[in-house]
Amino acid sequence: MTSETPQPPPGRTSYADRRKQRLDALAAASADEEGGVSLILSAWRRLRRNPVFLVGLAITVTFVVLAIIAPWLAPYDPAARPLLDDIRPQSNPVPGPEPGHPLGGDDKGRDLLSRLLVGSQQTLMVGVLATLFGLLGGVTLGTIAGAFAGWTDSLVMRIVDVMLSIPSLLLAFTIAALASSPSQWTLIIAIATVQVPIFARLLRGSMLGQRASDHVLAARSLGVKPHAIVFRHMLPNALGPVIVQATLVLAVAIIDAAALSFLGLGNPDDRRPEWGQMLGAAQPYLGQEPHLAFYPAACIIVVALGFTLMGESLREALDPKTRR
């Protein structure tokens, strides 16, 4: 796009014409375009070509779809005990694979494949909800601190610092243990609470960066109202790293959920399976029947990997340095 059309010297009309045509064509081309390419759109275009992202996406989508259709996919009710008769407490405490039960059963004679499939529901739900609640709390606190700055910022950040100073698993452990009766909601709240200070700190930092940026100064000098500056300019531009962190935290939340379940702080009702809880139940048989622990552990690792790959490539795509 040439902004000034200079007057070419007379006598060279042919070239001047050509230039004019070129400019017209350019103008026409830009008029045809439906809107411009936003940053999100261009990030998505880069993501779409990134094999790392695609692998992460494939893993994640596979597990989410599996979790959704698990009740129909699972050959058996995860609470039913079709293999109970095969259990011999002395010689064969865990039934091995047999026709109709490709992965065999667990120590209570329940179908392992069904439990793994249905277990993904609980694990993913705990991970996603914990991250969402953590994100919500963190973004609220971070926005308050970043938007008001001054003593509000100091107050919020000191609270956050205190929360951060406690080892995260220990904090989750305490919260889960404080609950009167453990359930998956205790897990979600415990893990979410652990994530809140991380998100808050991250967002606050990037909000303060935005506050000092030229485009926010420009909005101030334009006379834009303070709330519009916070919600239109500071928050959207500050969210990038937080979103990336959220995808990475998802992986951590799933692992944390598994860890707490393993320690018996999750849902005590083992008729509703959950990977971490299955892992915990597999503990006594670790020597003889390692596959009992292997399957849920592998699922946890692969799902966590899927989210991590997505998060890392998202971070790369949103990084302004790699743009274009």
Partner 1 sequence: MSTQRIQPAARHGEPLLAVRDLRVTFGRRGEEPFRAVDGVSFDVRPGQTVGLVGESGCGKSVTSLAIMGLLPTRGNTVEGSAVFDGEDLLSLSAPQMRDRRGADIAMIFQDPLSSLNPVIQIGRQVTEVMERHQGLSRKEAMPKAADLLERVGIPDPTARLANYPHQLSGGMRQRALIAMALACQPRLLIADEPTTALDVTIQAQILALLKELVVETGTAMVMITHDLGVVAGLCDEVNVLYGGKIVERGDRHTLFARPRHPYTVGLLNSIPRLDAPRGEALSPIPGSVADNLPWDSACAFAPRCPNALDVCVRQTPQWDGDDVVGLRCFNPMAVSR
Partner 2 sequence: MSASAGLDAARGARTAAPGEVLVEVRGLEVHFPIKSGIIFDRTVGHVRAVDGVDLTIHRGETYGLVGESGCGKSTLGKAILNLEPPTAGSVIFDGVDIASLKGEDLRKERKRFQMVFQDPMSSLDPRQTVEALLLEGMRAHGLDTDKAATHARLRELMSAVGLPPAGLKKYPHEFSGGQRQRIGIARALSVGPDLIVADEPVSALDVSIQAQVINLLQDLQDELGLTYLVVAHDLAVVRHISDRIGVMYLGGLVEESEAGELYDVPLHPYTRALMSAVPVPDPTVEDSREQILLTGDLPSPANPPTGCRFHTRCPWRQETRCDTERPELRVVEVAGASSGHRVACHFAEQIAAGEIERHEVEAELVSEGFGGPDGPPTPPEAYIAP
Taking residue 61's Cβ as centre, other Cβ atoms within 10 Å add up to 11
27 near partner 2, judged by CB under 8 A: yes
Residue 30: which of partner 1, partner 2, none does it interact with, CB under 5 to 8 A by kind? Answer: partner 2
12 near partner 2, judged by CB under 8 A: no
Judged by CB under 8 A, the residue of 8, 167, 268, 290 near partner 1 is 8
Backbone φ and ψ for 111, nearest 5 degrees, come out as -70, 120
Query: Which of 102, 315, 116, 313 lies closest to 202, judged by CA?
Result: 315
212 near partner 2, judged by CB under 8 A: no
- Tokens 């929360």 belong to which residue? 163
Binding mask 152-191 for partner 1 (x = CB under 8 A): ----------------------------------------
Counted residue by residue, the chain has a size of 324
| Nearest-angstrom CA–CA distance, 186 and 266 | 7
* 276 touches 259 (CB < 8 A): yes
Distances in Å between the Cα of 178 and the Cα atoms of 174, 182, 189 are 6, 9, 11
33 near partner 1, judged by CB under 8 A: no
* 119 touches 273 (CB < 8 A): yes
Residue 215: which of partner 1, partner 2, none does it interact with, CB under 5 to 8 A by kind? Answer: partner 2
Binding mask 224-263 for partner 2 (x = CB under 8 A): xx--x---xx--xx--------------------------
Stretch that binds partner 2, among 38-46, 171-179, 291-299, 309-317 (CB under 8 A): 38-46
- Chain positions 42 to 81 lying near partner 1, rule: CB under 8 A, are 49
Stretch that binds partner 2, among 74-82, 170-178, 196-204, 221-229 (CB under 8 A): 221-229
Query: Which of 241, 258, 261, 230 lies closest to 199, judged by CA?
Result: 241
54 vs 79 by CB, closer to partner 1: 54
